Amino acid sequence: MKLQQLKYIIEIVNCGSINEAAKRLYITQPSLSNAVKELETEVGIELFIRTPKGITLTVDGAEFLGYARQVVEQAGLLEQRYLNKKPSRQLCSISTQHYAFAVNAFVNLIKQSGADEYEFTLRETRTYEIIEDVKNLRSEIGILYMNPFNRKVIKKLLRENRLDFHPLFTAKPHIFISTQNPLAGRQSVTLDDLQEYPYLSFEQGEFNSFYFSEEILSTVFRKKSIHVSDRATLFNLLIGLNGYTISTGIVSADLNGDNIISVPLQVDDHIQVGWIANHQIRLSHQANAYVNELKHVIQEYGLPLQE
């Protein structure tokens, strides 16, 4: 077993493809495939499941990757200490639902890293894809919510994929609206108040189940409904069409400007936001740093942390 082979495995997982990893490693695809097969033969386990759509880690492969990352990280520290090598390029990938606080924490992570070279990835994506990303270790951490409606389904899916949910905070539902919306001056609103306004939500692609919706109350009928795929479009439509969406109530003026506000929604429900990770894998230094930044940002917004 060679250190280079461990680096190969890590790069394949980061890319999600042997072909793409070979390009980034500047070696041929057959050479990389042979290196993986040799390592699998040596350790006596299958690391990847190969399908026409690409590769995914096996259960043994996920456990192996956790150890491989630790070894490569420690080897890098040894090289810095005794061979005077510069710190290795820092890597970290996060997948999240569309939350401003997750972006705030990511910004803080990069500022605090102090690295000369880094390659960080933040994916604002669909709920099912967040789970898939963390399951296949394309991302170390995923951020999503649970509530009484989707909890059983989401927990079952996490359990089947050997993922753990770590609560961060629980929030009461709010609507996000433009400061020009007629409801902007209200202390709170009801679902009846919202009937004539366009409802905005994030589309979930082929896994468009109510249980995967990023917004609670996904089964409520709306006369006017618009699905979007990114946060910037959603906020533009909130302003342009006097629309609304439902979320945690955390609005970042730094990221979203001063044109969007939150108003409490009078419903008997709650939103518990947390992070997920593969329970077989020890988080990297950067992933742990990101979790700490998440907690710091959440506390800045005045929300009590859950442990």
Domain residue limits, the chain: 1-88, 170-271
**How far apart (Å, rounded) are the C-alpha atoms in residues 259 and 118?**
33
Most confident by average pLDDT, 7-16, 59-68, 160-169 = 160-169
With tokens 């102090």, the residue in question is 114
The partner residues of 51 in beta bridges, in order of sequence, read 54
What is the CATH T-level fold of the domain 1-88, as seen in this structure? Arc Repressor Mutant, subunit A (1.10.10)
DSSP per-residue codes, 107-128: HHHHHHH--SSEEEEEEE--HH
Taking residues 55-67, report their average pLDDT. 83
Instruction: Return the percentage of the chain with pLDDT > 90, whole number.
Output: 57
Amino acid, single-letter form, for residue 236: N
Q: Do strands 54-57 and 225-228 pair parallel, antiparallel, or not at all (unpaired)? A: unpaired
Q: Which of 63-67, 87-91, 105-109 has the lowest mean pLDDT?
A: 87-91
In the three-class reduction of DSSP (H, G, I as helix; E, B as strand; rest coil), residue 302 is classed as coil
Reported pTM: 0.77
Distances (CA, A) of 61 to 40, 58, 68, 141: 9, 5, 10, 18
pLDDT tens digits, residue range 210-221?
999 999 999 999
Assess whether the region 1-88 and the region 170-271 belong to the same CATH fold: no
**How far apart (Å, rounded) are the C-alpha atoms in residues 17 and 145?**
29
Which two structure tokens, joined as six digits, stand for 151?
A: 């909890």
pLDDT tens digits, residue range 187-204?
999 999 999 999 999 999
In the CATH scheme, what architecture does the domain 170-271 have?
3-Layer(aba) Sandwich (3.40)
The more confidently predicted of residues 275 and 301 is 275
The partner residues of 189 in beta bridges, in order of sequence, read 265
